[in-house]
Amino acid sequence: MSEQDHEPSRLNRRQFLKYGAGAGAAGLLYSSGLQARALATKSRIVILGGGAGGMAMANRLSRRLDGARISLVEPREVHHYQPGWTLVASGVWNPEKTMRPNSRFVPNGINWIRQLAAGIDAANRKVELEDGSQLDYDYLIVATGLQLNYQLIDGMSPDLVGSHGIGSVYASIEGATRTRDAIDAWIAQGSGKGIFTAAPTPVKCAGAPLKMTFTTLSRLEASGRREAFQVEYMAPGDALFTQPYINDFVKQRFDDQGVTRRHHYRLSAIDPQARKAEFTFVGPDSEFTSHHELREAEFSREGERKVVTGYDFIHVVPPMSAPDYLKSSDLIAQDGPFRGEWLDVDMHTLQHNRYPEVFGIGDVIGAPINKTAASVKAQAPVVEANLIAQLQGQTLPRRHNGYTSCPMITGIGKAMLVEFGYDNDFAFLPSFPFIDPRDESWVTWVMKDRMLQPAYYAVLEGRA
């Protein structure tokens, strides 16, 4: 097993400035009595995944726990700011802007295991690693993120992104860059049909398929030949977005901008050489079911309706789920809408429903909304407080209200700050009284373009 304590190579200028500023702020915190006291414990804590959720928890727990043996299982050396990928695919950002070394964020004293997890034995509290070794834990934080299931679309592979008119902002940073190039090539053609799809499963950043449509519309309008391009949006359900007001707004805006909407169709196959896509009618009950349930229904149906259509550009949104090794573990939901596909946690306490020593954070959890970095910001303090309470045998003190946020880009240069939670039919939960979530705004765009990435890094460091 290749494990080693993470040691910074040197104190660079950035760290010096940060710690200088941080020292002053820490002084303020101590003097005002706001700094939480560290809890002494010898517990073995394993954090699966070093994305937004895992890294935030690594930083928070390393500060809150004294003597804990914390392991972070994360093979990647590069941390990707995924909320920036839509801006890369829209031609606004350079891809380099979204990447930072993971070593910048991994706290000292953490056992950073640069491997993939291969399995979880929840009954015996063991994580199996890629090299066959095992990692015992007393407490487990599942922050694996999710898995992109391109293979569930016949003929589709992430390697195709950027060729044959295929784009997919989700594939990777390279995929987002190649998506930008594919859109460029389509616009350079001067005319043609573009199809934008959505997935029949919960997805991360549910606004991304809509954002890609809106930013492409901006670029088509800027080309001066908007009328020469056909744009279609194929949705697997009746809704385009969970939040009711925004859903109605987007539908109306698509209609106003000449986007043809078709509902209850999922992308089921693609023929890249012929530039043809097959869509399968999935019926009005498809929304927010797991792909597992969808496939069961699909395979049991005779003579299902299919539509095959040509395209010049297609934006593919793959079905998504928890990673395979998690799906084959006992931590996966056994019943309900997330069965077989997502982590089985209480969506308020974020504690596992059957294994109290296990908590979940981020995209992997079974919840109707919440697969955004903004959700991680809201979830991290809940997991921290509840895990520490669990360590002490106390009642879990904090509840997550489902807060999630999507800066809904409605064109290159404008956006809406959509923040909402579980309650009251996904009612708005605005953070700023001076920003109306129903308004398109330049300031919201500036936040997306300039401020949310710094805020994200503060979340990674456990500072926000």
Binding site for other proteins (CB under 8 A): 14, 17-18, 21-22, 24-26, 28-29, 34, 92, 411-414, 434-436, 439-443, 445-446, 449-451, 453-455, 457-458, 461, 463-464
**Smallest separation, CB 208 to other proteins (Å):** 18
**Smallest separation, CB 440 to other proteins (Å):** 6
Cβ-based nearer residue to other proteins, 221 or 287: 221
**Smallest separation, CB 446 to other proteins (Å):** 5
**Smallest separation, CB 414 to other proteins (Å):** 4
**Smallest separation, CB 86 to other proteins (Å):** 13
At 41, the amino acid letter reads T
- What 3-state DSSP class applies to 90? coil
Cβ-based nearer residue to other proteins, 22 or 337: 22
Q: Which helix (H) or strand (E) holds 32?
A: helix 13-32
Cβ-based nearer residue to other proteins, 388 or 460: 460
What are the helix (H) ranges across 156-312?
Answer: 173-189, 208-222, 244-256, 291-299
- What 3-state DSSP class applies to 318? coil
**Smallest separation, CB 445 to other proteins (Å):** 6
Tell me the C-alpha distance between 431 and 426, whole Å.
15
Cβ-based nearer residue to other proteins, 297 or 435: 435
Nearest alpha carbon to residue 246 among 363, 419, 452, 435: 419
At 200, the amino acid letter reads P
User: For the chain, how far is it from start to end, CA to CA, in angstroms?
Assistant: 33
- What 3-state DSSP class applies to 375? helix
**Smallest separation, CB 439 to other proteins (Å):** 5
DSSP for 193-226, written as a single string? EEEEE--SS--SSTTHHHHHHHHHHHHHHHTT-G
Cβ-based nearer residue to other proteins, 147 or 218: 218
Tell me the C-alpha distance between 235 and 286, whole Å.
10
- What 3-state DSSP class applies to 441? strand
Cβ-based nearer residue to other proteins, 339 or 463: 463
Cβ-based nearer residue to other proteins, 38 or 446: 446
The DSSP bridge partners found for residue 446 are none
Number of helices (H) and strands (E), helices first, in the chain?
12, 25
